[in-house]
């Protein structure tokens, strides 16, 4: 691609007078992208998350061994070597392969929690903030009650009631993690609900439902995305914690928390069994945190030149 | 040279630029003027660079801005050459500034009286009791009727006009020789506006201060100041005596005067300003 | 003839603060009526009460002969629209001009949206080049034009104007005032305009009411102000203040 083509494409994106809806939207996205990519650390975070996605998609092709069957006779608790980069566990399974497959479960948990908890929080928060009065009081007291319990304990209670397993763990984490989102959404809503532009929409005769859905929610979404991204690390850790306690994913599923749990018996002599999945959790959590920080700068609705 | 005509501030070719991601923004592009012990008005619309000119003289420009000038001298002191510390010492002591909204310039958690006392005591070594006496006297000088009561109030407990008076009192307590007032009355009601201007006027003539009055309101400036500088797109387009505003030469100045509705002048539609690119050249 | 706006002994109370203390007002169809006063006079509150944005404690408001309840129906908003003071605050920060103008059309179920948006933009002197801009890509005057276009797109008969030019530069103010006069003439609109500036009100309105701390001070014709036929000291003070600063030495 020649330099001129790149230049003209950029001018088109940054045009002060876009000629279509599409161009306006793309231009806006491009500005956010430029601000995001100017932040090196955030970019590293994004690369980590992309790597996670690629690994999860291609785990079958990338993994050198089966994640669930090991050679019990010859390869129990081998130290990291050329054949087994991360060593093997007590059942002779290749840890690298298990971690590669485990990325699928990590993504599964993270994505499911995000698409359950974030919309609940958004809905509760914006409705409470916009309606005010009794609706606000009731919704926010419910939020406070959920918020008052430590997340892991409440999740434990849910899983104990629903039975162990990764689906129930996801459900339990989702149910316990929406209150902070509701609080954020409510706070955002309170700052905009008395603004003239919301008043102007009221004066168009818009229903409260329409105002919340089409005018208030879009303003809350960016801070919510940031918060959800920053929470991803916590979600992974909670899922790993449940797995560790034996209430999340069940063996032989290669879930990282469960892997740490089963490796803890040999942590002093065969550190790699628990260390490798621990390191994987660390890297992915870091990736989400860096990404979240970058998104906060890129999406902040209050920043001037957007 | 007598006291009236002595030059207090000398500005020659002042430039203020802001580097941004998309290029350099030139807010002020070669402004020159001098100020004696008089009331000088700087008038312009938003983006004309009038506020940035005031800030550059005061030394409160954002840190990323670049300021250059052939000469920027206050009472013979080169303001661009001296250390930040010396600049700070000048600020508040010999040069004072009043901003548009007193709510943002007064400390919200400190009583008005204490703020005035603190200001005085950072610039002069005086006892607490004396500082208090002088603060009360100053509040009285800005026509606050019950200075003892206002002394103990916090900024949010007073009206806009009262807040602006307190702000003026605080700025004047150290006895500055020059004052920069950036839209000091724009946030106030018209009747209060005139009271505040009256106070400012009296203080300027009593103390022989030099005043730079920055405003968008050409009519107000022309009725208040001795001399008016009209700015457009970072440049001075016209300098003239306030009394001769009616004979302004530059089409921008005349357009600005013309386009405001006046009581009794039945002009429909109002004449609008036809901006010529060569004005900004 | 029924009045376009008839307000009778209106009281508005915010948390025990009486912002309006029994104000009455009568605006004829096609008339341009001004409300003048300083901050805290209740002039904006009166405007917002008519629009349904302020809590009415007692008294009544009738628009085109129809007395309004606490809830306004959709038909009301097709008759009455408002332009706000701050052009930076009255446009949604995340919506393009196109989206802003489409919203009222979508709410009221207009089919010919495309044509109306074009027309509305032309009417306020903004070409198609502005249609897909976000509000941060517009100057103050352009924003206020968009706000006027949005108010006009539902073809109301009454426009409430809350200091529509006080945040604008003098030269832009003249353009916006001219635009307002032009659309009023073309569409035979009724204006109810709030301002603290007597000169603007006498320029724009035939009749006006001076207000102070939630009460009406006096009702005047614009010509009364021009000839300085005022009866109340408060109005006289306002008039004097609008002449600029006078040195008393």
Give per-residue pLDDT as tens, C55-76.
Answer: 999 999 999 989 988 888 889 9
b/e per residue A25-59 (b: at least 16 CB within 10 A): eebbeeebeebbeebeebeebbebbeebeebbeeb
Judged by CB atoms closer than 8 Å, whether chains meet at B191 and C238 is answered as yes
**Pairwise CB contact (< 8 Å): C134 & A206:** no
Q: C4-53: per-residue pLDDT in tens?
A: 999 999 999 988 888 999 999 999 999 999 999 888 889 999 999 999 99
Region C126-140: mean pLDDT is 86
A169 C-beta neighbours (distance < 10 Å), count: 28
Residue the block writes with tokens 């009055």: B213
- Between CA A102 and CA A196 the distance in angstroms is 50
Q: Cβ(B232)–Cβ(B48) under 8 Å?
A: yes
Q: For the segment C178-210, what is each residue's pLDDT rounded down to a tens digit?
A: 999 999 999 999 999 999 889 999 999 999 999
Domain count, chain C: 1
Q: Which domains does chain A have, with CATH numbers?
A: 51-299 (1.10.3720.10)
Strands B227-232 and B235-241 come out as antiparallel
Q: Which of A13, A132, A200 to mutate to test the interface with C (most CBs of C within 10 A)?
A: A200
Question: Using the beta-carbon criterion (under 8 Å), do A200 and C84 form an inter-chain contact?
Answer: yes
Could you tell me which residues come within 8 angstroms of residue C188 by beta carbon, excluding any fewer than 6 positions away? Answer: C30, C157
Instruction: Output the pLDDT for position A265.
Output: 83
- CA dist A235 and A230 (Å) reads 10
| Minimal CA separation from C104 to chain A, in Å | 5
Q: Which residue of C has its CA nearest to A196?
A: C90
Residues 235-294 of A with CB under 8 A from C: none
Confidence category of residue C249, pLDDT binned at 50, 70, 90: low
Q: CB–CB of B194 and C241 under 8 A?
A: yes
Q: Is B46 on the interface with C (CB under 8 A)?
A: yes
Residues B78, B11: Cα–Cα separation, whole Å: 10
Contacts of B67 (CB under 8 A, 6+ apart): B14, B15, B16, B56, B61, B80
Residue whose pair of structure tokens reads 């650390």 in the numeric block: A41
**What is the average per-residue pLDDT within B86-109?**
83
Cβ distance C107 to A18 less than 8 Å, yes or no, reads: no
Decide which of B41 and B104 is more confident: B41
Q: Do C104 and A210 touch (CB under 8 A)?
A: no
Q: Any chain C CB within 8 A of the CB of A20?
A: yes
For C61, phi then psi, to 5°, come to: -125, 130
Whether residue B272 and residue C177 make contact (CB cut-off 8 A), yes or no, is no
* Residue C221 belongs to some domain of the structure: yes
Residue C104: CA count within 13 A, CB half-sphere: 32
Q: Which of A18, A23, A219 sits opposite C94 (nearest CB)?
A: A219
Interface check B268 vs C, CB under 8 A: yes
CB contacts of C136 in chain A (<8 Å) are 305-306
CB atoms within 10 A of CB B241: 12
Choose from A205, A207, A223, A224 for mutation: most chain C CBs within 10 A. Answer: A205
Any domain includes C156: yes
* C150 lies within 8 A of chain A by CB: yes
Q: Tokens standing for A20?
A: 């279509």
State the CATH number of the domain containing residue C129: 3.40.50.300
Task: Tell me the pTM.
Answer: 0.85
Alpha helices in chain B (DSSP H): 50-58, 84-90, 102-105, 112-123, 128-141, 147-151, 160-172, 190-207, 218-224, 251-258, 277-280
Instruction: Tell me which of C83-87, C101-105, C245-249 is least confident.
Output: C245-249
Residues in chain A within 8 Å Cβ distance of C81? 203
Distance between CA atoms of C120 and C135, rounded to whole angstroms? 17
A21 and C137 within 8 Å at the Cβ level: the answer is no
- Number of helical (H) and strand (E) elements in chain C, helices listed first: 9, 10
| Cis, peptide link before residue A52, omega less than 30° from 0 | no
Please give the distance of CA A2 from its chain centroid, rounded to a whole number: 38
Chain C residues lying within 8 Å of B267, measured CB to CB: 203
CB contact under 8 Å between A16 and C133, yes or no, is: yes
At A304 the pLDDT is: 43
Which secondary-structure segment (H or E) carries B213? strand B210-215
Chain C contacts of B103, Cβ < 8 Å? Answer: none
Nearest-CA residue of chain A relative to C107? A206
Domain assignment present for C58: no
Which position has the higher pLDDT, C157 or A154?
A: C157
Chain C environment of A195 (Cβ under 8 Å): 89
> Residues C49, C8: contact at Cβ < 8 Å?
no
- Per-residue pLDDT at A1: 54
Question: Across the B/C interface, how many CB contacts are shorter than 8 Å?
Answer: 93
Q: What is the mean pLDDT of residues B240-246?
A: 87
In-domain check, residue C143: yes
Question: Would residue C228 count as lying in a domain?
Answer: yes
Q: Which pair of tokens denotes residue B235?
A: 């440049």
Q: Residues B57-79: what's their mean pLDDT?
A: 89
| Nearest CB neighbour to A199, from listed C53, C98, C104 | C53
| Chain C residues touching A301 at Cβ < 8 A | 93-94
B150 in Cβ contact with B69 (< 8 Å) = no
Q: Are B72 and B155 in contact (CB under 8 A)?
A: no
- Answer whether C132 sits within 8 Å of A21, measured CB to CB: yes
* Probe site for chain C from B181, B190, B246, B255 (most C CB atoms < 10 A): B190
In a domain, C65, yes or no: no
Residues across chain A: 306
Phi and psi of C41, rounded to 5°?
-80, -15
SS (H, E, C) C104-152: HHHHCCCCCHHHHHHHHHHHCCCCHHHCCCEHHHCCHHHHHHHHHHHHH
Cβ-contact A7, A13 below 8 angstroms: no
d(CA B35, CA B229): 11
**Quick check: is C11 in a domain?**
no
pLDDT digits (tens, 9 = 90+) for C99-124: 999 999 999 998 888 899 999 999 99
The reported pLDDT for the residue numbered A306 is: 37
Report pLDDT for B198.
86
The Cα A78–Cα A214 span in angstroms is 58
Which chain A residues are closer than 8 Å to C72 by Cβ? 205
d(CA C175, CA B127): 57
C107 and A306 in contact by Cβ < 8 A?
no
| B263 touches C at CB < 8 Å | yes
Residue C24 covered by a domain: no
User: What DSSP letter does each residue of C143-204 carry, written as one string?
Assistant: HHHHHHHHHHTT--SEEEEESTTTTS-HHHHHHHHHHHHHHHHHHT-EEEEEES-HHHHHHH
Question: Does residue B22 belong to the interface with chain C, where contact is any CB pair within 8 Å?
Answer: no
- Nearest Cβ partner of C38 from B189, B216, B259? B189
Q: What pLDDT sits at residue A136?
A: 95
What is the Cα–Cα distance from C201 to C222, expressed in whole angstroms?
Answer: 8
Query: How far apart are alpha carbons C82 and C147 in whole angstroms?
Result: 9
Considering only residues C226 and C160, tell me which one the structure prediction assigns the higher pLDDT: C160
H helix or E strand, kind and range, residue A120: helix A95-131
Would the CB atoms of C174 and B268 count as touching at under 8 Å? no
User: For the residues of A53-114, what is the DSSP string, one character each?
Assistant: HHHHHTHHHH-SS-SS---TTT-TTPPS-SSSTT-B-TTS-BHHHHHHHHHHHHHHHHHHHH
DSSP conformational letter for C73: P
Q: Which of B219, B264, B269 sits opposite C181 (nearest CB)?
A: B269
Nearest Cα to C81, choosing from C195, C209, C192? C192
Mean pLDDT for each 10-residue chunk of chain A (306 residues)? 74 77 82 84 92 91 82 78 83 89 89 92 95 93 90 84 86 90 94 91 91 92 87 83 82 84 83 89 90 81 45
Q: CB neighbours (10 Å) of residue C162?
A: 22
Provide the residue range defining the domain that includes C123: 30-51+73-241
C17-27 β-sheet, strand order: C17-27, C5-14, C56-63, C66-67
């Amino acid at each position: 691609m020649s330099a001129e083509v790149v230049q003209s494409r950029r001018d088109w994106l940054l045009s002060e007078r876009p000629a279509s809806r599409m161009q306006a939207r793309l231009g806006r996205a491009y500005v956010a992208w430029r601000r995001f990519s100017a932040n090196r650390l955030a970019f590293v975070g994004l690369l980590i998350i992309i790597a996670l996605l690629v690994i999860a998609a291609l785990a079958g092709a990338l993994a050198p061994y089966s994640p669930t069957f090991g050679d019990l006779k010859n390869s129990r608790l081998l130290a990291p070597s050329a054949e087994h980069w991360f060593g093997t566990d007590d059942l002779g399974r290749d840890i690298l392969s298990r971690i590669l497959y485990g990325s699928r479960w990590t993504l599964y948990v993270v994505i499911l929690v995000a698409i359950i908890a974030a919309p609940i929080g958004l809905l509760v928060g914006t409705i409470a903030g916009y309606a005010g009065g009794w609706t606000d009081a009731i919704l926010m007291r419910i939020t406070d009650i959920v918020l008052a319990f430590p997340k892991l304990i409440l999740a434990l209670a849910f899983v104990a009631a629903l039975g162990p397993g990764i689906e129930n763990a996801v459900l339990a984490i989702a149910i316990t993690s929406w209150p902070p989102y509701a609080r954020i959404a409510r706070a955002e809503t309170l700052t905009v609900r008395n603004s003239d532009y919301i008043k102007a929409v009221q004066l168009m005769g818009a229903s409260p439902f329409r105002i919340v859905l089409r005018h208030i929610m879009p303003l809350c979404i960016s801070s919510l995305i940031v918060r959800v991204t920053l929470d991803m690390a916590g979600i992974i850790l909670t899922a790993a914690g449940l797995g560790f306690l034996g209430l999340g994913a069940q063996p032989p599923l290669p879930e990282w928390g469960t892997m740490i749990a089963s490796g803890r018996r040999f942590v002093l002599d065969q550190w790699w069994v628990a260390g490798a999945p621990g390191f994987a959790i660390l890297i992915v959590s870091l990736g989400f945190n860096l990404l979240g920080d970058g998104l906060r700068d890129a999406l902040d609705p209050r920043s001037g030149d957007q | 040279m007598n006291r009236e005509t002595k030059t207090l501030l000398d500005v020659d070719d002042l430039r203020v630029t802001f580097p941004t991601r998309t290029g350099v923004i030139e807010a002020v592009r070669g402004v020159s003027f001098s100020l004696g012990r008089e009331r000088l008005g700087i008038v312009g619309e938003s983006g004309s660079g009038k506020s940035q000119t005031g800030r550059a003289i005061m030394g409160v420009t954002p840190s990323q801005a670049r300021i250059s000038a052939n000469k920027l001298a206050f009472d013979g002191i080169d303001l661009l050459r001296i250390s930040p510390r010396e600049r700070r010492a000048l600020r508040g002591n010999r040069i004072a500034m009043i901003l548009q909204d007193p709510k943002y310039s007064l400390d919200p958690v400190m009583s008005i009286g204490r703020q005035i006392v603190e200001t005085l005591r950072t610039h002069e070594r005086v006892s607490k009791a004396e500082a208090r006496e002088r603060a009360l006297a100053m509040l009285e000088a800005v026509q606050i009727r019950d200075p003892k009561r206002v002394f103990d109030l916090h900024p949010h407990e007073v009206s806009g006009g009262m807040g602006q008076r307190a702000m003026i009192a605080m700025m004047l307590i150290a006895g500055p020789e020059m004052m920069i007032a950036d839209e000091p009355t724009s946030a106030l009601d018209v009747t209060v506006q005139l009271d505040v201007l009256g106070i400012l006027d009296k203080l300027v003539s009593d103390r022989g201060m030099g005043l730079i009055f920055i405003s968008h309101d050409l009519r107000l400036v022309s009725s208040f100041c001795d001399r008016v500088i009209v700015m457009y797109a970072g440049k001075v387009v016209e300098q003239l005596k306030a009394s001769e505003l009616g004979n302004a030469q530059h089409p921008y100045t005349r357009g600005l005067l013309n386009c405001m509705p006046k009581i009794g002048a039945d002009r429909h539609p109002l004449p609008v300003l036809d901006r010529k690119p060569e004005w900004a050249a | 003839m029924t009045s376009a706006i008839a307000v009778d002994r209106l009281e508005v109370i915010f948390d025990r603060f009486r912002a309006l203390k029994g104000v009455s007002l009568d605006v004829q169809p096609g008339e341009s009526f001004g409300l003048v006063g300083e901050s805290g006079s209740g002039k904006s509150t009166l405007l917002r009460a008519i629009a349904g944005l302020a809590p009415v404690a007692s008294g009544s408001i009738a628009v085109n002969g129809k007395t309004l309840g606490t809830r306004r129906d959709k038909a009301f908003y097709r008759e009455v629209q408002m332009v706000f003071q701050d052009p930076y605050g009255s446009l949604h920060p995340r919506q393009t001009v196109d989206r802003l103008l489409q919203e009222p059309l979508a709410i009221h179920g207009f089919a010919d949206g495309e044509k109306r948006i074009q027309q509305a933009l032309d009417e306020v002197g903004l070409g198609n080049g502005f249609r897909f801009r976000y509000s941060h890509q517009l100057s103050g005057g352009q924003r206020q034009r968009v706000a006027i276009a949005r108010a006009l797109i539902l073809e109301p008969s009454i426009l409430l104007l809350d200091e529509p030019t006080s945040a604008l530069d003098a030269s832009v103010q003249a353009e916006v005032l001219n635009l307002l006069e032009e659309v009023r003439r073309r569409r035979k609109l009724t204006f109810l305009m709030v301002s603290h500036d007597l000169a603007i009100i006498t320029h724009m309105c035939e009749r006006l009411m001076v207000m102070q701390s939630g009460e009406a001070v006096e009702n005047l014709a614009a010509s009364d102000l021009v000839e300085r036929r005022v009866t109340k000291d408060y109005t006289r003070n306002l008039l004097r203040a609008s002449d600029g600063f006078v040195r008393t030495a």
